[in-house]
Chains A and B, each alone.
Chain A
Amino acid sequence: MDLSAINPLVLIASLMVAATPILLAAIGELVVEKAGVLNLGVEGMMITGAICGFAIAVETGSPALGFIASMIGAALLSLIFGFLTQVLMSNQVATGLALTLFGLGLSALLGQGYVGIKPPATHDINFGFLTEIPVIGPILFTHDIIVYASLALIAATWAVLKFTRVGLILRAVGENHDAAHALGYKVVRIRILAIMFGGACAGLGGAYLSLVRVPQWTEGMTAGAGWIALALVVFASWKPLRVLVGAYLFGGITVLQLNLQAAGVAIPVEYLSMSPYLITILVLVIMSSDRSRAALNAPASLGRVFHASS
């Protein structure tokens, strides 16, 4: 056992990279659920974003265009879900599951010609002398733009939901769509916009996987990250900052357990492998253990079909 081989600074820096895909997908899903819609298609949207972003980045040579394309691609896919559940009023759970299956198949089809290709590199932002600051430098100033964008997105989502009129309307639609409708808000339109936002975020998370974290295209490469993002939203009791904590915790323990294995720590591998799931759930459950308040956090209209005539 040689724990000194693990450099905590490098570890924290790489956990931020490892956590970013699920963080992005989770914050998107949080907004969708806050609007009262349960979209189980996160995995499908992520992987569609992964291939859309990868393909465009390879074709144009620009990772930036790739990231934009991933958001557009996944948002378009989520629009199918929006149309089916909001306009045709289909069952959200079944439609979301179908979206995941569809996204996995579609991405495999789109990705036929992109196996084994290297994407253009996404460069870390150059902060100059800031990188040299001990401790903080390597942790905070050695990342690419998407890591910072994901953090900004968490802060923005938190602020918008808590302090703005838009956030209030979104929450109203999620809490009681009939009341929101009676007040004259366009429930269906607001929800579809929220679904597209969720799709764009999931797509960006997927593209981060295929363009930065792995970086390459392989079929089925999200390998369940979308489901983890979904679970994270619930365990974080629909709070943006807790999503951040949960995602970094999950990413952190995933990276840590691999590092502990590499360092030869004498803990059975099985326990290390399950630890990210166990600890993340445990911590988030304890954080939301105040039952009376936790119950208030779930959007009251979550997953319920809205019909304007009622």
Chain B
Amino acid sequence: MKRRMLLGAAAALGLAAATGAYAADPTKVGFIYVGPVGDGGWTYEHNQGRLAVEEAFGDAVETVYQENVPEGADAERAMTQMALSGVDLIFTTSFGYMDPTIAVAEKFPNVKFEHATGYKRADNVSTYSARFYEGRAVQGTIAGHMTKSNKIGYIASFPIPEVIRGINSAYIHAKKVNPDVEMSVIWAYTWFDPAKEADAATALIEQGADVILQHTDSTAPQAAAEKAGGVITFGQASDMGEFAPLPRVSSIIDDWAPYYIARTKAVMDGTWESTDTWDGIGAGMVGIGEISDAVPAEVKAEALAMKDALADGSYHAFTGPLNKQDGSAWLAEGEVADDGTLAGMNFYVEGITGDIPQ
């Protein structure tokens, strides 16, 4: 009796395994996060994208994620583990995962990889990023109008092109509406360290900055600005709406859901190919959070007009005449920056003081 049951069970298992190949074997999608899903910023939005994938495909997908994965050797281990567990598609969601992603992808040619914000691709590695600098142009416009001390503080994370583009774009547009504006940049050398981010915001505020822009992931600078009072901030990566209407007057919202759903679908259909996606406000990958009532109506209108112009392509955030920091010419009158230069941007535009750490 017992033996027969075992045989039956084995047969059933074998049958299940055999049919699995034909019938609905859920597509497994993995995500590697640099911070906790509760950071309220960058990782939070990637996780919202993951949840959207689950919602869109129901039982046909299975998602897994690992949070707080350090950039570096440990990331390679986390990806390898995920690939070994039978995941079909892995999204690695931080710049520092670039080389680990390429290395692991080489070992698992049948697993598809998607690396966010990087520039290295392979047959099974795509890259995707958002044109955050378009959102920075809108922020810079509001910041230039709103600052009374003419000092804008910028909390930067790491000296990589993505961050430098944001600094340049914000500065160019703040300067355009307010020629007296100055920008102080603090390099925090972290994506996520609430205490350090709060200290950086406090240091900038104590030195007279009344607008704080951040390119780090937590809401700590918002809280610090709120405590100091009389300072405005912008939500980063996520709306951070709990700090509206002041200090947070607007935000850049990353919307990864449509992309994640499209790429998962491509894997299911077998049409997945290595691509390079770089979408902005127009495609909806970058959203501008509601501009709060703390901003005067005409400033708000100007900011929204810029948003629309960026969205329909009639205006490019890097339009000449623009010089590099050392005074050498970069873009002539009316010329716009090409994607190649933007992707590898490693210089400040004219007017920003200080050096980019090399």
User: Is residue B184 within 8 Å, beta carbon to beta carbon, of the partner chain?
Assistant: yes
Closest to B353 in A: A264
Contact B207–A6 (Cβ < 8 Å): yes
Which A165-224 residues have a C-beta within 8 angstroms of B? Answer: 209, 213-216, 218-223
| Residue contact B355 to A266, C-beta cutoff 8 Å | yes
> Could you tell me if B194 and A221 are in contact, using CB atoms closer than 8 angstroms?
yes
Q: If the complex has contacts A18-B199, A118-B242, are A111 and B357 also in contact, measured as CB distance less than 8 A?
A: no
- The CB with the most chain B CB atoms within 10 A, among A5, A115, A222, A258, is that of A258
A14 touches B38 (CB 8 A): no
Q: Assuming A223-B196, A273-B189, is B224 touching A10 (CB within 8 A)?
A: no
The reply to whether B187 and A116 form a contact with Cβ atoms under 8 Å apart is no
- Residues of B within 8 A of A (CB-CB), count: 41
* Pair B203/A218 contact, Cβ less than 8 Å: no
Shortest beta-carbon distance from A35 to chain B in Å: 29
Closest 4 CB pairs of A and B: A219-B36, A258-B203, A269-B357, A223-B193
Q: With an 8 A cutoff between CB atoms, is A309 at the interface? A: no
Q: Which residues of A contact B208 (CB under 8 A)?
A: 5
Instruction: Find chain A residues with CB under 8 A from B36 CB.
Output: 108, 218-220
Q: Which residue of B lies closest to A266 (CB)?
A: B355
Residue of B nearest to A271 (CB): B357
Interface residue A249 (Cβ < 8 Å from any Cβ of B): no
Number of residues from A at the complex interface, CB < 8 A: 41
- Chain A nearest CB from B237 CB (Å) reads 14
Q: Of the candidates A11, A21, A214, A264, which one forms a contact with B223 in the assembled complex, judged by CB atoms under 8 Å apart? A: A214
Indicate if A254 sits at the interface (CB-CB under 8 A): yes
Q: Is B219 an interface residue (CB 8 A)?
A: yes
Known: A261-B185, A264-B184. A219 touches B39 (CB 8 A): yes
Q: Mark A260-282 against chain B: 1 for CB-CB distance below 8 A, else 0.
A: 01111010111001000000000
18 new A-B contacts at CB < 8 Å, known A214-B224, A218-B39: A5-B208, A14-B199, A14-B202, A14-B206, A116-B40, A118-B226, A216-B220, A218-B38, A220-B192, A223-B193, A254-B196, A254-B199, A258-B199, A262-B203, A262-B209, A269-B187, A269-B189, A273-B189
CA distance A16 to B81 in the complex (A): 44
Q: Is the CB of A259 within 8 A of B193?
A: no
Contact code string B170-182 (vs A, CB < 8 Å = 1, else 0): 0000000000000
B residues 148-200 in Cβ contact with A at 8 Å: 153, 184-187, 189-190, 192-196, 198-200
Q: Per-residue CB proximity of B10-50 to A under 8 Å, as 1/0? A: 00000000000000000000000001101110000000000
Of chain B, the residue at the smallest CB distance from A7 is: B206
Q: At the interface, yes or no: A255 with Cβ under 8 Å from chain B?
A: yes
- Note all chain A residues with C-beta closer than 8 A to B204: 262
Contact of A261 among B35, B186, B242 (CB under 8 A): B186
Whether the Cβ atoms of B223 and A118 lie closer than 8 Å is yes
Please give, as numbers and ranges, the residues of chain A lying within 8 Å of B40 by CB-CB distance: 115-116, 218
* A232-248 interface with B by 8 A CB criterion: none
Contacting residues, chain A, for B357 (C-beta < 8 A) = 268-270
A209 to B353, CA, bound (A): 33
| Given known contacts A216-B194, A216-B220, A223-B193, A116 and B355 CB-to-CB distance under 8 angstroms | no
Against A, the Cβ 8 Å flags (1 = close, 0 = not) of B205-234 are 011110000000011100110110000000
CB of B354 closer than 8 Å to a CB of A: yes
Check A263 against B184 for contact (C-beta < 8 Å).
Answer: yes
For the complex, give the distance between the alpha carbons of A215 and B220 in Å: 7
In angstroms, how far is the closest chain B Cβ from the Cβ of A91?
Answer: 25
Residues of B within 8 A of A (CB): 35-36, 38-40, 68, 153, 184-187, 189-190, 192-196, 198-200, 202-204, 206-209, 218-220, 223-224, 226-227, 240, 242, 353-355, 357
**A220-B36, A266-B355 given as contacts; is B207 within 8 A of A5 (CB)?**
yes
Q: Which residues of A contact B218 (CB under 8 A)?
A: 218, 221
Check A223–B220 contact: CB distance below 8 A.
Answer: no
Docked Cα-Cα span, A115 to B223, in Å, equals 13
- A213–B208 Cα gap in the complex (Å)? 20
CB distance from B233 to the nearest CB of A (A): 13
CB nearest to A215 among chain B residues: B223
Contact A261-B187, Cβ < 8 Å, known A218-B39, A220-B36: yes
A255 to B203, Cβ gap below 8 A? yes
> Quick check: B195 and A264 within 8 Å, CB to CB?
no
The answer to whether B242 touches A262, judged by C-beta atoms less than 8 angstroms apart, is: no
Per-position 1/0 for A109-121, Cβ under 8 A of B: 0011001111001
Q: How far is the CA of A5 from the CA of B209 in the complex (A)?
A: 10
Return chain B residues, CB-CB under 8 Å to A117.
242
In the complex, the answer to whether B220 meets A214 with C-beta atoms within 8 Å is yes
For residue A225, CB closer than 8 A to chain B, the reply is yes
Contacts of B227 in A (CB 8 A): 121, 215
Chain B residues contacting A5 (CB-CB under 8 Å) are 207-208
- Set of chain A residues within 8 Å of B199, measured between Cβ atoms: 14, 18, 254-255, 258
Partner of B186, one of A112, A116, A262, A270: A262
Q: Are A216 and B219 in contact (CB under 8 A)?
A: yes
How distant is A212 from chain B, measured CB to nearest CB, in Å? 9
Closest to A212 in B: B227
Q: Which of A11, A115, A213 contacts B198 (CB 8 A)?
A: A213
CA distance A221 to B208 in the complex (A): 27
| Interface-central residue, A5, A254, A261, by most chain B CB under 10 Å | A261
Q: What are 18 inter-chain pairs, A to B, with CB distance below 8 A?
A: A5-B208, A7-B206, A14-B203, A18-B195, A116-B242, A118-B223, A214-B223, A222-B195, A223-B194, A225-B195, A254-B196, A258-B186, A261-B184, A261-B185, A261-B187, A266-B354, A269-B357, A270-B357
